[in-house]
Amino acid sequence: MEHSDNGVTPGGQPAEPTSGATPGSPSAEPPADSAATPPGRPLQTEFNDGRDYPRLGRFSFRRGTLTENQQRLWEEHWPRLGTDLPETEHCVVDLHEWFGRQADTIVEIGSGTGTSTAAMAPLEAEKNIVAVEIYRPGLAKLLGAVVRGGITNVRMIKGDGVEVLARMFAPNSLAGVRIFFPDPWPKARHHKRRIIQTGTLHLIATRLRPGGVLHVATDHADYAEWIDGLVASEPQLEYLGWPADVPQLTDRQVLTKFEGKGLSKEHVIRDYLWRKRP
């Protein structure tokens, strides 16, 4: 899994302006005239509840194109295994129809290139996994792994993670939400773009069913300190820490790409777990 702002920072191809996470880093600061919305980039939902939500800006993006084989697989399999965040306000996905079964559903915000998603999914075959990512080449890599591996329990959504949660999932519908190694936005002036905010925690809480689990992991010390200050901010979520009896759905059973890099640099991996109260 890549360092990504997990569905809330811009990324992708220059020809495909977007509104969500990217494994790549922005190559430029937002211009002064950022009020204009690039074509094809969905507007961020307006939240007026007094909570903090990630702030979006305009960026120039690192180039990311699909290979010929990835493009072929995309055209053949994306209509069945993936979908884009629609422009319409009411677009709740029918999980039963999409997966063809009734099962617990876990949403992974910011799946990056999907390496760990594809590795964990077969170990969670009884669960529905929805990977949310804005970076199309990353989704293409995951799509290829799913097709080649015959993985049947993964679906993908291309779009801003906050928008996807707000508009595509019904309240009390999810068994789990995972946010692994989000972009730490280390500069103080960029902290407002971090995905872990009071508003995001509240939004996730409304989408989790009672007993559902949110799992966040980071190897960035400053971001961990930021999260430490928010663990008790959402009354619907009971902070668990990292107890021994954590439900299997939150277990990082394989190293993500960025976790491996962090460990190689002797970074401390911090895991945060919350359970939605009854």
Residue 266 assigned ligand-binding role: no
Amino acid at 219: D
Is 269 in contact with 219 (CB distance < 8 Å)? yes
**Token output for 17:** 């302006």
**HEC profile of 55-124:** CCCCCCCCCCCCCHHHHHHHHHHHHHHEEECCCCCCCCCCHHHHHCCCCCEEEEECCCCCHHHHHHHHHH
Was 104 annotated as part of a binding site? no
Q: Is 200 annotated as a binding residue?
A: no
The response to whether 5 counts as a known ligand-binding position is: no
Q: Is 33 annotated as a binding residue?
A: no
* 127 annotated to a ligand binding site: no
Give the Cα separation of 214 and 151 in Å (integer). Answer: 24
**Nearest residue to 135 via CA among 13, 46, 44:** 13
Tell me, yes or no, if 183 is annotated catalytic.
Answer: yes
Looking at 33, 49, 94, 183, which residue is catalytic? 183
Phi first, then psi: give them for residue 26, nearest 5 degrees: -60, 140
| SS3 of residue 275 by DSSP | strand
Q: Residue 219, annotated ligand binder?
A: yes
- Nearest-angstrom CA–CA distance, 169 and 269: 29
Whether 160 has a binding-site annotation, put simply, is yes
Q: Please give the annotated binding residues for S-adenosyl-L-methionine, written as ranges.
A: 108, 133, 160, 183
Binding residues for substrate: 187, 219, 256-259
Binding residues: 108, 133, 160, 183, 187, 219, 256-259
The residues that are catalytic are 183
